[in-house]
Amino acid sequence: NCDDALVSPLPSTALSSSSELFSTHSPSFAKLNRRDGAGGWSPLESNEQQWLQVDLGDRVEVVAVATQGRYGSSDWVTSYALMFSDTGRNWKQYRQDDTVWVFTGNSNADSVVHHKLLHSMKARFLRFIPLKWNIGGRIGLRVEVFGCSYKSDIADFDGRSSLLYRFNQKLMSTFKDVVSLKFKSMQGDGVLFHGEGQRGDYITLELQKGKLSLHLNLGDSNLHFTNSHTSVTLGSLLDDQHWHSVLIERFNKQVNFTVDKHTQHFRTKGDSDHLDIDYELSFGGIPVPGKPGTFQRKNFHGCIENLYYNGVNIIDLAKR
């Protein structure tokens, strides 16, 4: 039931814009089906540099949007794009199939055009970017956003801290591992998680120059100090301060590594099907410097959200 109208209950100050034609055309009048003021928002100039912004008050899940033109006028938007942000400063364009998505707008001033998003957005701020508008009029817009509150577990890391998950036994030997998380990074380098064992096994996920690298070795100590261990890199520019999703699924030597819906399938090296880890996994960094293979690795500076290891909610467990 994530389909609440999110804009209509907001105060008028929650809407802002690049400009306004007159005070009667201000963004405060841009709520769907409202007729006050001049019946909607119109900017000072009608061009592609204009935008209408909504501060949703908190981070929410957005599943749909709707638009109208300015009431009783010849001003409406025929196509537009969406941008979203957590901070109101660093913006990201809404995409479908790796393409900046262009939404079909209105063909008159008062009919409502509703779009359900193929992929929901988690954001506090949303911007409507008019791309085209009625040839015989100006940009005119009234909007609504549909969704629900978004609750998540988030851990913040300052580049020096880390979060430890200790096993209830000295050695954890697994033939299957599933790690899922979202992260938002302020820097291009840093360890998101790390674990290792005395037999030479290890697993490390780290940002390196804005790309995400997964390093694995299963039970071959001779590979630990060489370039023969298994390393796979995905993504780029992941230090853009936006959320990125990660899923690692390992079954024996077969691994699926997914970053933002892009998946790489590979087979690990090593002479075992099990991953043998001593004592603990560390998230956000490596707490003890100088461990084998851990030199010149930076701790993570950013946020990790909804962190799960083999079904265990690590952040929720830490809060308890």
pLDDT, tens digit, 9 for 90 and up, residues 224-260: 444 448 899 999 999 988 999 999 999 999 999 999 9
Residues for the chain: how many in total? 320
Complete domains list, the chain, with CATH: 4-149 (2.60.120.260), 154-319 (2.60.120.200)
- In the prediction, which pLDDT does 292 show? 47
Task: State the burial class of residue 115 (Cβ atoms within 10 Å of its Cβ: 0-12, 13-18, 19+).
Answer: middle
- In the prediction, which pLDDT does 231 show? 92
Contacts of 255 (CB under 8 A, 6+ apart): 214, 216, 230, 232, 248, 249, 265, 266, 267, 268
**Of 10-19, 86-95, 140-149, 195-204, minimum mean pLDDT range:** 195-204
**Of 192-196, 287-291, 295-299, minimum mean pLDDT range:** 287-291
206-219 b/e (C-beta count within 10 Å ≥ 16 → b): bbbeebbbbbbbbb
Mean pLDDT, range 26-45, rounded to an integer: 98
Closest to 135 measured CA to CA, from 51, 78, 70: 78
- In the prediction, which pLDDT does 296 show? 59
Whole-number mean pLDDT of the chain?
Answer: 91
Mean pLDDT, range 6-12, rounded to an integer: 97
Q: Is the pLDDT of residue 132 over 90?
A: yes
Span 165-219, pLDDT tens digits: 998 888 888 889 999 999 999 899 999 999 988 878 899 999 999 999 999 988 7
29: three-class secondary structure by DSSP? helix
- In the prediction, which pLDDT does 90 show? 87
Q: Is the pLDDT of residue 294 over 50?
A: no
Q: Is 194 in contact with 173 (CB distance < 8 Å)?
A: no
Q: Is the pLDDT of residue 303 over 50?
A: yes
- In the prediction, which pLDDT does 224 show? 46
Q: Is the pLDDT of residue 85 over 90?
A: yes
Q: Is the pLDDT of residue 223 over 50?
A: no
d(CA 129, CA 138): 14
d(CA 10, CA 237): 34
d(CA 17, CA 43): 8
